[in-house]
Amino acid sequence: MKRLAIYCGSATPADPRYVALAREVGRTLAERNIGVVYGGGRLGLMGAVASAALDAGGEVIGVIPEALEGHEVANRDCTQLIVVPGMHERKRAFTDLADGFITLPGGVGTMDELWEAVSWAQLGYHAKPVGLLNAFGFYDLLLAFNRQMAEVGFIRPAHRGIILDAETVETLLEKMAAFTPITTVLKIRTEDL
């Protein structure tokens, strides 16, 4: 894996563990020569991931929509900052530029990015690992919900393993490195999006 898309919150929670986690992820990826592709912001966990990766000498590619770029939230320190028209183009750029996805704790936007990566894997838009960093049990309920969807029959048996989860970044990277692409519903090219 040469680059990973990192999905995480643009907020800074009161609990300092979350910022420390984001910094650990950025630093770990840089130390392993894995580039970061992320939302292009300088705030919250996004900014923490980027600054830690840059401080450790890593490559950081930010992808930010035009509407956010103009509001002084863009991280101009990135190795490369790509400005796109909107959120759809941003997520497509993440998929095109990265060899996989890691979701850190975050809010609604983070969930949108995670579920789209999962959905696109099911449909065959990509065959890349989708990692979920479940630090501090943050995603316990989401993982339980994902199991419930599978048990009820809304997720096909072949797709139950799309989300790779772990409590530490090191374990998650190991799982992602061992990832075998799943059988998709269809095989669609990202150019068809």
48-105 tens-digit pLDDT: 999 999 999 999 999 999 988 877 689 999 999 999 999 999 999 999 999 999 999 9
Residue 107: HSE in the Cβ half-sphere, 13 Å Cα cutoff: 8
The pLDDT value recorded for residue 73 is 86
% of the chain at pLDDT higher than 90: 85
Domain extent, residue 170, equals: 3-192
Residue showing tokens 């990277």: 173
**In the 3-class helix/strand/coil scheme, how is 41-110 assigned residue by residue?**
ECCHHHHHHHHHHHHCCCCEEEEEEHHHHCCCCECCCCCEEEEECCHHHHHHHHHHHCCCEEECCCCHHH
Say whether pLDDT at 159 is over 80. yes
pTM above 0.85, yes or no: yes
Q: What CATH number should be reported for the domain holding residue 130?
A: 3.40.50.450
Distance CA 46, CA 150 (A): 31
pLDDT digits (tens, 9 = 90+) for 113-133: 999 999 999 888 899 999 999
Say whether pLDDT at 174 is over 70. yes
Distance CA 63, CA 36 (A): 11
Say whether pLDDT at 111 is over 90. yes
Higher pLDDT, 193 or 18: 18
- Residue-averaged pLDDT of the chain: 93
Q: Which has the closest alpha carbon to 125: 135, 117, 115? A: 117
Residue 11, helix vs strand vs coil: coil
Tally of domains within the chain? 1
